[in-house]
Amino acid sequence: GSDDIIAGNVSKYIVLPAGYYGQPKKGHLIFDACFESGNLGRVHHVTEFEYDLFIRPDTCNPRFRVWFNFTVENVKESQ
């Protein structure tokens, strides 16, 4: 479930639509949080324009998730 413990950050994680096989195309987003203060733990593809993002809790205060820091690459125009 969505309450599972998220242990680490995503690192150059390519999100492909369900049932898609092959090389990533423009618009298949690449998420990365593998850097200091990055905190994106998991990404689920919902639609071409919608993703569920799961943010790791703050190291010093696990009760709160009040900020986020990650990058997104491989976007296409109008996405």
pLDDT along the chain (79 residues), means of 10: 65 91 93 87 91 85 79 91
Element (H, E) at 41: strand 40-47
* pLDDT at residue 56 in the model: 85
Q: What is the pLDDT of residue 66?
A: 74
| Domains of the chain, residue spans | 7-78
Instruction: Check: CB of residue 4 under 8 Å from CB of residue 14.
Output: no
pLDDT value for 38: 84
Q: Position 72: which residue type?
A: V
